[in-house]
Amino acid sequence: MFNHALKALTANRLKTFLIYVSLTFSIVSIFLISSISDGVIGMYSSMLKNDGDVIITQAKISDTFFSNVDRTLLTKIKQIEGVDDASAMILGASPVESLPIVAIYGVSHNRFKDYKLLHGSYPNHNEVLVGETIYNNLQDKKELSISNKKFTISGVFKSEIGFENGGLVLNIEEAGEIFHKSASIIMVNSNLNMDVDVIIEKIKLLDENIDVKSTDSFVESYNQFKIIKISSRVISFIAFCMGLIGIVSIMSVTINQRRSEFGIKRAIGISMKKVMFGIIIEGLVLGLFSFASAYVFSFLALFLIKNSSTLQGYVNGEISFSLALTIFVMSIVMVTLGSILPALNAAKSDPLALIQGNRS
């Protein structure tokens, strides 16, 4: 059956190529949309999870960039039983030289240790620590401006998280002057075997204007993550539908041109079910080749995106096994439906009409 499918596909090379291209680009689109959205969420989640078990933001805000938490709470939080350490961060963004937007992280001094130095030292007053990706794009390697304020580059750090590697780190006091806030978020590390929920309840009593959640709970409920996930799923569904429509259209034309072939098969006793099964096998063969090609193209595209200096490491994506498996199933469903619909149309005709082909 597989050999028959290959012969049928090679006999209609142009149509086969068109279906292959349509299907491959549809799968590549789904791969890239899904992996990049998951990558963005994964990078931000990793950055937060590396910093603590509990996250504190301003209550009733839509995004952490708009949050403003009183960082003097750090002293009180550190005194709570079971708290190992607590740090504060300001999240912001600003143009730097020719770069239109660069992530700015104002951090408390105890968080500097989280940034792995390549060379130089951690920043003091009027100094900034620069991510490797940004540093490579700077013309002036000694100083830079953030909101018209000059900073000396104290050192360069490297991070596996693209958001950080493409950002700048400075003292939280100076970041507060630039962005006019005390802290965007406060992160709390608990002692081992300590009940995080107990710590959360104690922190909530410190200020009625804060929202306190475990890191996992925060990541799951973060509105921006939900928007990114929903958007990627909708766009992926549109790509799926476009691929399906393309397959159905081209398969319909191909099957219509092969009506005589199907009619002869019916006339010699081959059931329409077997004919339809043969068409579906052809689609599945195409689907497997297209998926394999799409996987390779997507992997190469993500590699180029990850290493693009223009994107500064902010856009990243990884193809996980679960994502690949999901898209593989979607691809098989796409080609199966795309093959069945034209085949069902052909099945409605009688053998004589099929043998006559396009003749009236």
Q: pLDDT-derived band of residue 297, with 50, 70 and 90 as boundaries?
A: very high
pLDDT at 263: 67
- Cα gap 16→8, rounded to integer Å: 9
Answer for the pair 141, 25: CB distance below 8 angstroms, yes or no: no
* pLDDT value at residue 360: 44
DSSP annotation of 191 reads P
Both 275 and 164 in a single domain? Answer: no
Higher pLDDT, residue 198 or 278: 198
Mean pLDDT, to the nearest integer, of 60-65? 80
CA distance 122 to 133: 17
User: Sorting pLDDT into bands at 50, 70 and 90, what band is 359?
Assistant: low
Q: Rg for the chain (alpha carbons), in Å? A: 29
Q: 3-state SS string over 133-188?
A: HHHHHCCCCCEEEECCEEEEEEEEEECCCHHHHCEEEEEHHHHHHHHCCCCCEEEE
On whether both 337 and 229 belong to a single domain, the answer is yes
Instruction: Look at residue 80 in the predicted model and tell me its pLDDT.
Output: 92
% of the chain at pLDDT higher than 70: 83
Q: Is residue 141 assigned to a domain?
A: yes
Half-sphere exposure of 320 (CA within 13 A, CB side): 11
Is the pLDDT score of 73 beyond 90? yes
Average pLDDT over every residue of 279-304: 86
Domain final residue, candidates 208, 238, 256: 208
CA angle 94, 100, 106 (to 5 degrees): 20
Amino acid at 53: D
Helix (H) or strand (E) holding 106: strand 99-107
Cβ distance 165 to 196 under 8 Å? no
DSSP SS3 for 92: strand
Higher pLDDT among residues 90 and 277, named by residue: 90
Higher pLDDT, 272 or 147: 147
Same domain, 70 and 167: yes
Q: What is the pLDDT of residue 273?
A: 75
Verify that 78 and 168 share a domain, yes or no.
yes
In a domain, 335, yes or no: yes
Task: Provide the Cα torsion 259, 260, 264, 265; round to 10°.
Answer: -30
Boundaries of domain holding 180: 60-208
In a domain, 180, yes or no: yes
The 3-state DSSP class for residue 93 equals strand
Clarify whether residues 65 and 202 are in a common domain. Answer: yes
Has residue 354 got a pLDDT over 70?
A: no
| Closest of 108, 114, 102 to residue 48, by C-alpha | 114
Question: What is the mean pLDDT of the segment spanning 213-242?
Answer: 78
- For residue 122, pLDDT over 70 is answered with yes
| Average pLDDT for 146-169 | 87
Same domain for 285 and 161: no
- Report pLDDT digits (tens) over 8-57: 677 777 777 887 888 888 888 888 888 888 777 777 666 666 667 899 99
Kindly state whether residue 184 falls inside one of the protein's structural domains.
Answer: yes
Domain boundary among 208, 236, 271: 208
Same domain (yes/no): 18, 109: no
Residue where one domain finishes, among candidates 157, 174, 208: 208
Q: Enumerate residues 6+ apart whose C-beta is below 8 A from 272.
A: 266, 346, 347
Domain co-membership, 267 together with 322: yes
Q: How far apart are CA 6 and CA 24, in angstroms?
A: 18
> Is residue 310 over pLDDT 80?
no
- Clarify whether residues 278 and 307 are in a common domain: yes
Asked, for residue 34, whether it belongs to a domain, the answer is yes
The position carrying tokens 């400075």 is 170
C-alpha distances (whole Å) from 56 to each of 73, 96, 283 are: 10, 29, 52
**At 148, is the pLDDT very low, low, confident or very high (cuts 50, 70, 90)?**
confident
Q: In this model, does residue 267 exceed pLDDT 90?
A: no
**Per the domain annotation, does 280 fall within a domain?**
yes
What pLDDT is stored for residue 262 in this prediction?
67
- In this predicted structure, what is the pLDDT of residue 48? 66
Average per-residue pLDDT for the chain: 82
Question: What pLDDT score was predicted for residue 285?
Answer: 84
In a domain, 200, yes or no: yes
Asked whether the predicted pLDDT for residue 66 surpasses 50, the reply is: yes
Short-list 100, 111, 96, 94, CA closest to 183 = 111
Mean pLDDT on 161-185? 89
Nearest CA to 247 out of 29, 13, 30, 23 is that of 23
128 and 245 share one domain: no
Q: Residue 266 pLDDT > 70, yes or no? A: no
Q: Which is higher by pLDDT, 189 or 310?
A: 189
Q: Are residues 258 and 151 in the same domain?
A: no
**Are both 71 and 192 inside the same structural domain?**
yes
**Residue 152 has what pLDDT?**
94
What domain count does the chain have?
Answer: 2
The phi and psi torsions of 190 (rounded to 5 degrees) equal -100, 160
Residue 331 falls inside a structural domain = yes
